[in-house]
A and B are shown apart, each in its own frame.
Chain A
Amino acid sequence: MRNIFVCIKQVPDTTEVKINPKTGTLIRQGVPSILNPYDHFALVCALKLKKENPDFLINVISMGPPQAKSVIQLALALGCDNGYLLSDPSFAGSDTWATSYALSMAIKKIAKPDLIICGMQAIDGDTAQVGPGIAAQLAIPQITFCQEIELRENKLIAKKHIDDGYDIVETSLPCLVTMSMPKDFELPFPSFVDIVQSLSKEIKIYSAKDIGADENLIGLAGSPTQVLRIYPPPREVKTVYIKSSSVEAVERMIEIMRNENFIK
């Protein structure tokens, strides 16, 4: 069997989150937790590859508090094979580098990876660093911001999103890809039957010791990043006055909107 790893994260539904302007912290009260949508899309891509290549085993892995089991069970209900949760108080406070280290240690312990798929970023922190961090830790090639991936023999071909279009990139396996998601992509949900059947699949809980992680490289101690302040970005309002005849004014407006990428 070949092994795909999908790294997923439970995040607060940011459409519901507001920042307390006084303290600068997230108001999480009553905010539901969801599977990070980019990770959800990564699962969809992994499941598609498995359908085309039945010799793939999909291992889902997440780091978080015990309640993060919920997103792993969702992944199992959607059709993934094995679930792993890295949960240990000593992971608390890990930044993207320490998280990448812990995830890469867990992957090494579980099986030799053929392919690792991550969402391009989590919608709570928006750093887009954990995926590339894992690839660096494991010293394997990476392709970030992929819209589509396919396998041809022992090569992975990716359609990589860039600002003004896309690149087609090829690499050998093992490798790591991070997935961006087409706009308005309808993420699938499992049926009640799938959800109940997922209970027959075990979710393994690993501590830092279980994965052989060096305590100095995880948690706050292993995190070079220090968060000084969180605040909502100030909203900039630009006003342009156009003084000309109506036809010219419309043309000018269209030009401005095109330059600002409001229309194509």
Chain B
Amino acid sequence: MPSFDPITRELMIDSLRDYARKKLNYDFIREKDRLNECPYEILREMYDPKILGIHLIAIPKEYGGLGGGTFDLYRICEELARIDLGIATSVFATYLGMDPINVGGTPEQKKYYLSRIAKEGLMVAYCATEPDAGSDLVNLKTKAEHVTQNGKVVGYRITGLKQWISNGGIADLYTVLALAPGGPSWFVVERNTEGFTPAHHEDKHGIRLSNTAGLSFDNVYVPFENLIGGVEGQGLIQAQAVFGYTRLMVAAFGLGCGWSALETAIRYSQQRIQAGGPLSEKQGYMFKLIVPNAINLEAARSYIEYIARRIDNGEHQLQTEGAIAKYFATESGNKSAEDSIQALGGYGYTRDFPVEKIKRDVKITCIYEGTNEIMEMTIYRGRWQEHLKTRGEYYMSMARELEEISKENNESGAYEASLALKALANILEECRINKLTRHQYVTFVLGRLISMAEHAYVFAKTAFNDTLSGTVKFDSATYKAMSRVFAKNTALKIAIEGGWIVLGLNDKSSSVFEKINMAEIEKRQYGILSDMELISKSLVGVFKSK
């Protein structure tokens, strides 16, 4: 589905922000966090079409929704995460819970369920995880057994346990993955079905406003019509089909949390006077705790937007891209929150400032929708195939593209990003020749390096344009400086970390640094100090202390 125009989309974001300003101030959220309480009434209000109608954006128009696209949902998820990641997770659980129906449902099922969710503002829960099956869904234990009448399957009896289910205790509808005789399949279970019992709300490290519960299914009967798609064995395919988009939303959570924490730190840095001047004027503070995080978060945004646009333009199967976005944005968000606590010193460690809570909250983004280690593996698997299929051309052609644009001008660091991509291609090739990917550790490191390199590629291309996305708060000169620093840093990291695994696992690869053109990468590092000065000043200008 295409997204709305930027004006319409940003009006929605403004309304969401206005709602939060009125109803969700930090004192309220802090108290709910302390009490480990889900603000159920608030969620109901947010679903009310007269107040916000937040669930409607993810429902197609023909079923009474507003038919938003991926770019719209990314912006809403980012803004929700800035407000509170627990509330964001709860809203997202409804979006996610509808996906099996949206992707795999029969036309009748879509009409029946999606229209009801739209009209009645139903909360949904997506129930895949089990005590023994997280990312490894093949271990699924929940069973759906046939109930037959005159030899015909008329329904199923579901038995098993689900764990860590967002909205588990409060949802009206549950989409449940269970092992039917024909293979893993999704079923819709209504809240009050006999034999279905949600457990207590978990006492979690963060996102404490999000209701999370285990679920018990004891011989729960559902009619055949509740089998999503009407055919058994489609469950894992249906689950896989939406990972590109769902992981992009978790990436948006990382982005929102990361910026929210960092903005607090930047504003604080202008008020805190130490050794005769504000912290915001000190390199040791800004260049360590603030600037690198701002750069990473903007690199993450450029990639999220690039993928969101591609999905809106009708591209499917962007699972590897979803993993790349999720991995990088959530790692960056987590690090930003961590450094923001440090930036606030003792204050950051108290609950009087929101960064402590954001840090506890954002950690989940590195865990749910596939842990970031699973992301490293997924990214490696997807791109390794491309590397083999194209005989190393996959990244080399991207590098050439950047080299070309750098000839026009290299303000966005396109040349340095092209060095990063070439280095990556050579590292992958070394790994192939020396059969290093038989070691799992190598594959995970490669997953990480691939994620960084593709971010450098997209960031340099995006920053090359003088017209920036309306979501970018910086001027073009600052944005280009961010991309330059990122490209240089990425090239060096790929060279060192990639070189390290190649040399560390194979004693015949001594010439690896020549192959990845380390000399040129070294030569291109100069200039980061003035760029970081520029970025630092710009950050203070954009996020002024109040």
Question: Residues of A within 8 Å of B, CB-based: how many?
Answer: 23
Q: Which residues of B contact A16 (CB under 8 A)?
A: 544
CB of B12 closer than 8 Å to a CB of A: yes
Partner of A196, one of B4, B22, B48, B475: B4
Question: Residues of B within 8 Å of A, CB-based: how many?
Answer: 30
CB of A18 closer than 8 Å to a CB of B: yes
Shortest CB distance A196–B (Å)? 5
Q: Are B53 and A192 in contact (CB under 8 A)?
A: yes
Question: How many A-B contacts if CB must be within 8 Å?
Answer: 64
Q: Decide: A195 near B11, CB < 8 A? Known: A29-B475, A30-B473, A189-B18.
A: yes
> How long is the Cα–Cα vector from A10 to B513 in the complex, in angstroms?
56
Q: Are B473 and A192 in contact (CB under 8 A)?
A: no
Partner of A190, one of B10, B15, B56, B474: B15
Partner of B8, one of A15, A18, A67, A195: A195
Q: Are B49 and A189 in contact (CB under 8 A)?
A: no
Shortest CB distance B79–A (Å)? 12
Q: Are A192 and B15 in contact (CB under 8 A)?
A: yes
Which residues in chain B, 1-53, are within 8 Å of chain A measured between CB atoms? 4, 7-8, 10-12, 14-15, 18-19, 22, 48-53
> How long is the Cα–Cα vector from A170 to B542 in the complex, in angstroms?
46
Q: Which residues of B contact A77 (CB under 8 A)?
A: 11
The closest CB in chain B to the CB of A66 belongs to: B7
The closest CB in chain B to the CB of A27 belongs to: B541
Q: Which residues of B contact A186 (CB under 8 A)?
A: 22
> How long is the Cα–Cα vector from A236 to B240 in the complex, in angstroms?
65
Q: Which residues of B contact A30 (CB under 8 A)?
A: 473-474, 541-543
CB of B54 closer than 8 Å to a CB of A: yes
- Interface 0/1 of B504-546, CB less than 8 Å to A: 0000000000000000000000000000000000100111101
CB of B236 closer than 8 Å to a CB of A: no
Q: Are A192 and B542 in contact (CB under 8 A)?
A: no
Q: Are A193 and B56 in contact (CB under 8 A)?
A: yes
> How long is the Cα–Cα vector from A187 to B15 in the complex, in angstroms?
11
The closest CB in chain B to the CB of A188 belongs to: B18
Shortest CB distance B93–A (Å)? 18
CB of B103 closer than 8 Å to a CB of A: no
Q: Are B7 and A73 in contact (CB under 8 A)?
A: yes
Q: Are B12 and A70 in contact (CB under 8 A)?
A: no
Q: Are A193 and B544 in contact (CB under 8 A)?
A: no
Which residues in chain B, 416-448, are within 8 Å of chain A measured between CB atoms? none
The closest CB in chain A to the CB of B49 belongs to: A193
Q: Which residues of B contact A199 (CB under 8 A)?
A: 4, 8
Q: Are B475 and A189 in contact (CB under 8 A)?
A: no
CB of B503 closer than 8 Å to a CB of A: no
Q: Are B12 and A195 in contact (CB under 8 A)?
A: yes
Which residues in chain A, 205-264, are within 8 Å of chain B measured between CB atoms? none
Q: Which residues of A contact B12 (CB under 8 A)?
A: 192, 195
The closest CB in chain B to the CB of A72 belongs to: B7
> How long is the Cα–Cα vector from A120 to B52 in the complex, in angstroms?
29
Q: Decide: A70 near B52, CB < 8 A? Known: A29-B542, A30-B541, A189-B19.
A: no
Partner of B11, one of A15, A18, A29, A190: A190
Q: Are A191 and B7 in contact (CB under 8 A)?
A: no
Q: Which residues of B contact A198 (CB under 8 A)?
A: 8
CB of A160 closer than 8 Å to a CB of B: no
List the 6 closest A-B pairs by CB distance, nearest first.
A30-B542, A189-B18, A30-B473, A189-B15, A192-B53, A70-B7
Q: Which residues of B contact A (CB under 8 A)?
A: 4, 7-8, 10-12, 14-15, 18-19, 22, 48-54, 56-57, 66, 473-475, 538, 541-544, 546
Q: A29-B541, A30-B473, A189-B18 are in contact. List 18 more A-B contacts (CB 8 A).
A: A29-B475, A29-B538, A70-B7, A70-B10, A74-B11, A186-B22, A187-B18, A190-B11, A190-B15, A191-B48, A191-B49, A191-B50, A192-B66, A193-B50, A193-B53, A195-B15, A196-B8, A196-B66
What are 6 residue pairs bridging A and B, where the CB atoms are less than 8 Å apart in the complex?
A15-B546, A29-B538, A30-B473, A189-B15, A189-B19, A191-B51
